[in-house]
Structure 1
Amino acid sequence: MKTKKHNTSWMVSVALMAAIVIVLANTPLGMIQLPIIKATTVHIPVIIGAILLGPAAGAILGGVFGICSLISNTMAPTLLSFAFSPFMSTTGIPGAVKAVWISVGCRILIGVAAGWLWILLSKLKVNNIIALPVVGFAGAMVNTITVMGSIYILFAKQYAEAKDVAVSAVWGLVMGTVTASGIPEAIAAAILVLAIGKVLIGVFRKMNIGNV
């Protein structure tokens, strides 16, 4: 009975976190429209969910984030939406599969990586004041690096055409995005995960839910 109650609490918690992801993904707070790409803060509840509820929950929440990204890039396309929506593919089925990987697969990795990193730091007895921002920063960088890295590997030619530059210039543009957008997002994630995580860890411990 106790296990059943624990499982139910876990599922309810995942559902609530997923609802937060969906709300953020559909408001200006969650996806900030830039000229050619959508910068996001939606990875933050994914990371926090992975910390509180484990890698499996993180994967689910990352998948919800990815589906929201796919829908957003389909309904309100930008110059790079071909890399995030299979319906915007310019290279047929292969391009559609690649787009699903970038929009959904890479986002699942956020939750998996954050969840396992938290478990590792917990086993190493790292203080939460240090562990929380480390996981927040790392989770956000996983998002940026896997997404932009996948775009470079899978869509370099299309990216160059969208930006009207030579293919040889794509690496510099990708690294520019990682530096200019990814690092500030990761710093913000570190701060927010620390602030929010400290509070929620206490709550979840009292409720005996998740990995904390």
Structure 2
Amino acid sequence: MSERKQKTQNTDNINPWRLTTERWLIAGMLGGLTVCITWIPGIGFIPVPNLSGNATTGHIPTIIGGIIGGPIVGLLSGFIFGLMSLLHATSPIFKDPSVAILPRIFIGLVAWAVFAALRRLNFDVAAVIAGAAGSLTNSVLVIGMGIARGYIPANGVVLATFLPQVIAETVISAIFAEAVARSYYIVKNRLVHAPDVKARDQLPY
């Protein structure tokens, strides 16, 4: 086994619940990205005509964090996303921490678990399914908690208004999760690198 493959294998075998320097950096970068995209109007939270008030892309860094950084990174990123959702809440449902924060903590955790379970079968399929699963976790738990807390009526017509938003968020999350995870692991495994530089006396000109 080559030294490069050995290093990659050793990195992959690190306890997923251990916070390494690399994982701290990933958590910091994705947390910062979450703050940025949720701070800019119309990007992290997109107004929609249903009881939620907004569709979101703010959960995507949390999904990516779970996939490439593991469960702890996913949990930290999810908490930051939930906190930003609470701080930017314009509707009563998201002014409640049990709706704005609690469900978001599980997004990265589910994405990590799905990716870890399916990765050995097919990397890209695993990333796509993990992205979709993370997004659905956000949608199902937020709507479920909204119903439990009395903000959303358990009415089929009302719940149907969430369907287009749920589908759109799921598809977008799956696409971004696969693209970013693939790019990250290509760079991490050093499959993309600069061409070798030859000494001056070895150049043909």
TM-score range, shorter-chain basis? 0.7 to 0.9
Root-mean-square deviation (Å): 2.0
2:112 counterpart (110, 115, 140): 115
**Structure with larger RCO (C-alpha < 8 A, sep 6+):** 1
Q: Is the 8 A contact 1:114 1:139 kept in 2?
A: yes
* Letter of the structure 2 residue corresponding to residue 83 of structure 1: I
2:30 counterpart (10, 17, 23): 17
- Residue 59 (structure 1) shift: 0.6
Q: Is the 8 A contact 1:152 1:171 kept in 2?
A: no
Q: Is the 8 A contact 1:140 1:186 kept in 2?
A: yes
- Residue 84 (structure 1) shift: 1.2
Flag the 1:153–1:50 CA change in 2: closer, same or farther, 3 A. same
Aligned to 1:174: 159
Q: How does 1:61-100 map to 2 (within 5 A)?
A: 61-73=77-89, 77=90, 81-85=91-95, 99-100=96-97
2:183 counterpart (179, 182, 199): 199
- The DSSP-based 3-state class of the residue aligned with 2:55 is strand
Return 5+ residue gaps in structure 1 as ranges. Answer: 86-98, 160-166, 207-212
1:38 counterpart (41, 48, 54): 54
- Residue 201 (structure 1) shift: 1.9
The 2-side partners of 1:171 and 1:152 are apart by 12
Q: Is the 8 A contact 2:67 2:112 kept in 1?
A: yes
Aligned to 1:29: 43
Q: How does 1:119-138 map to 2 (within 5 A)?
A: 119-122=116-119, 125-138=120-133
* Letter of the structure 1 residue corresponding to residue 147 of structure 2: Y
Aligned to 1:88: none
Instruction: Report percent identity of matched pairs.
Output: 26
Q: Is the 8 A contact 1:152 1:174 kept in 2?
A: no
* Letter of the structure 1 residue corresponding to residue 81 of structure 2: F
The 2-side partners of 1:175 and 1:102 are apart by 19
Structure with larger Rg: 2
Aligned to 2:98: 101
Aligned to 1:49: 65
| Number of residue pairs aligned between Structure 1 and Structure 2 | 171
TM-score by length of 1: 0.74
